[in-house]
Amino acid sequence: MPMERTSMRNIREVLRLHHDHHLSQSQIAQSCAISRESVRKYLHRAKAAQLSWPLPAELDDEKLETRLFPSGSIKTSDTSYPDWSRVHQQLKKKGVTLLLLWEEHRAVHPHSASYSRFCEHYRNFLATLEPVMRQHHVAGEKLFVDFSGLTLDWIEPSTGEILIAQIFVAVLGASNYTYVEALPDQSLPSWIGAHVRAFEFFGGVPSIVVPDNLKAGVTKAHYYDPDINLTYQEMACHYGIAVVPTRVRAPKDKAKVEVGVQGIERRILAVLREHTFMSIADINTAIAPLLSAYNERPFQKLEGSRRSQFLSIDKPALKALPLHAYEYATWCKATVAPDYHVAFEKHYYSVPYTYLKKMVEVRISTNSVEVFYKNKRIAAHPRSMTGGHTTVKEHMPKRHQAYVEWTPQRLINWASQIGINTAEFITRVIDSRPLPQQAFRACLGTLRLGDKYSKERLEKACARALQLNTLRYQHIESTLRNGLEEQPLPTHVEQPFLPCAHENVRGAEYYH
């Protein structure tokens, strides 16, 4: 059976979870949102290719794909499965069998799974309908994270507006030791920041983080892009953890955190329900002593407390924190524009021109913007908070690099030596382009016409072009070639293009 179509990023994640965390194939499949069969085949191909771990730094996505799939790229699978809940209901009807349903499904999807695989997936579905054995939590292995259903209100002092604080909860599997934090919202920055502070609270990191299927942390499963949110995945790599989301409609997967949420709702949030808060910081200050008391509270049926169990069981098993906390960064996808730049927040950053029209991934942190193609960094720039362009000379084609020594002011100064109309024409041509360098070829061509036809004729041709409101080199060249600069203008001529006061119009003085 052909494998699911997936990305090299997912294959790297499969190898990382297998070698660094020794997860089972089922756990890896769940974390990466791919089938267990695909996980097995990726691991088999990696072994056959004699790939070492960690992968060599020089092994980019293209080289990795060649090693794993020497005969070509990953093949797209036509395998599909039906809605198992509907299959289950159909089987209740008289005379309907799994074989009949498989044959009907195969008639519509000729390349779907074999009958034995079809039956196996149905048995797996049946297993989710019945209670499974009680979960066993290994020390330091899992941290369960979620948001509480309850919230706390606070008042914005400057406006008097009542706002809602979201409550983040993290519970260690073996000891039930709990971390609680109030956040302004459930956005990705808040979600990632809460994880970082939770790891610092525990003084270490677990092997696995188990979130609910929140939009902030988990991208919706998609045939072509089944990844966990890239920022969440990057944070996981920074701390050396695996993210294994709970299955949809599988409450037993998140029973640990749901019990923890219930406990803090009763022991912390209910206690604070009548309090008036003026900031998120005020809420967290009030939570701190209540959380400490909650973790110190003795168990009813077990010896000790959450804290004592944490110190004796979970704490020694946690991995050490990295030297530096994770720096939050967002990711987005962009297509390289014809001017070899990608845009973010109205600023344009250059990439090597050889990646024109390629789909790239852009990583944006507080101070930098990095561009990646197939998991290989191809450009890095300081982040700018204003509009404009950041261009690296080496990213430009050779023919464009020839214009780097030219500046807008140098061209305008040259034009001014010919005449006021030529200077105005050149200024407007430069202002008409998003990037001044994009106008340099047309400007140089126009100015060099003065050597061929005389400066006096060029000045008149530019005056005529301004009256006709045309800013093209071809018009100037045609006017001079046909001797039209002295001819009267057409009767129905457009009004001349007059300069106006606007923040987006630079003008000649801009380039001084």
Angstrom distance (rounded) from CA 463 to CA 422: 7
Q: Indicate if 420 and 367 belong to the same structural domain.
A: no
Over residues 158-185, the pLDDT tens digits come to 888 999 999 999 999 888 899 999 999 9
Angstrom distance (rounded) from CA 373 to CA 354: 11
Q: Indicate if 249 and 312 belong to the same structural domain.
A: yes
In a domain, 172, yes or no: yes
Q: Which residue has the tokens 């050396």?
A: 240
In a domain, 77, yes or no: no
Angstrom distance (rounded) from CA 84 to CA 128: 11
Q: Indicate if 335 and 272 belong to the same structural domain.
A: no
Q: Indicate if 218 and 151 belong to the same structural domain.
A: yes
Amino acid 457: pLDDT = 93
In a domain, 32, yes or no: yes
Does residue 154 register a pLDDT over 90?
yes
Q: Indicate if 386 and 409 belong to the same structural domain.
A: no
In a domain, 504, yes or no: yes
CA 490 → CA 467, 476, 481, 484, 495, distances in Å? 11, 16, 18, 11, 12
Bigger pLDDT: 148 vs 500: 148
CA 259 → CA 46, 56, 254, 266, 467, distances in Å? 40, 43, 9, 11, 77
Angstrom distance (rounded) from CA 196 to CA 331: 18
Quickly state the pLDDT bin for 198 (edges 50, 70, 90).
very high
Quickly state the pLDDT bin for 223 (edges 50, 70, 90).
very low
Q: Indicate if 152 and 192 belong to the same structural domain.
A: yes
Q: Indicate if 42 and 163 belong to the same structural domain.
A: no
Angstrom distance (rounded) from CA 82 to CA 77: 15
Q: Indicate if 408 and 474 belong to the same structural domain.
A: yes
In the listed set 397, 421, 456, which residue is the last one of a domain according to the structure?
Answer: 397
In a domain, 355, yes or no: yes
In a domain, 325, yes or no: no
Q: What mean pLDDT do residues 254-271 have?
A: 77
Q: Indicate if 461 and 407 belong to the same structural domain.
A: yes
Q: Indicate if 393 and 412 belong to the same structural domain.
A: no
Number of domains in the chain: 5
Task: Please give the biggest Cα pair distance in the chain.
Answer: 103
Amino acid 122: pLDDT = 79
Owning domain of residue 98 = 84-127
Amino acid 286: pLDDT = 95
In a domain, 74, yes or no: no
In the listed set 291, 317, 343, which residue is the last one of a domain according to the structure?
Answer: 317
Tell me the DSSP string of 306-329.
HHHHIIIIIHHHSBPPPSSPPPP-
Mean pLDDT is lowest, of 191-200, 230-239, 384-393, for: 384-393
Angstrom distance (rounded) from CA 296 to CA 267: 12
Q: What is the CATH number of the domain that holds 156?
A: 3.30.420.10
Quickly state the pLDDT bin for 139 (edges 50, 70, 90).
confident
In a domain, 224, yes or no: yes
Quickly state the pLDDT bin for 402 (edges 50, 70, 90).
low
Write out the two tokens for 345.
Answer: 């927040």
Q: Indicate if 158 and 214 belong to the same structural domain.
A: yes
Q: Indicate if 302 and 387 belong to the same structural domain.
A: no
Amino acid 3: pLDDT = 44
In the listed set 369, 397, 425, which residue is the last one of a domain according to the structure?
Answer: 397
User: What is the distance, to the nearest Å, from the Cα of residue 158 to the centroid of all Cα atoms in its chain?
Assistant: 34
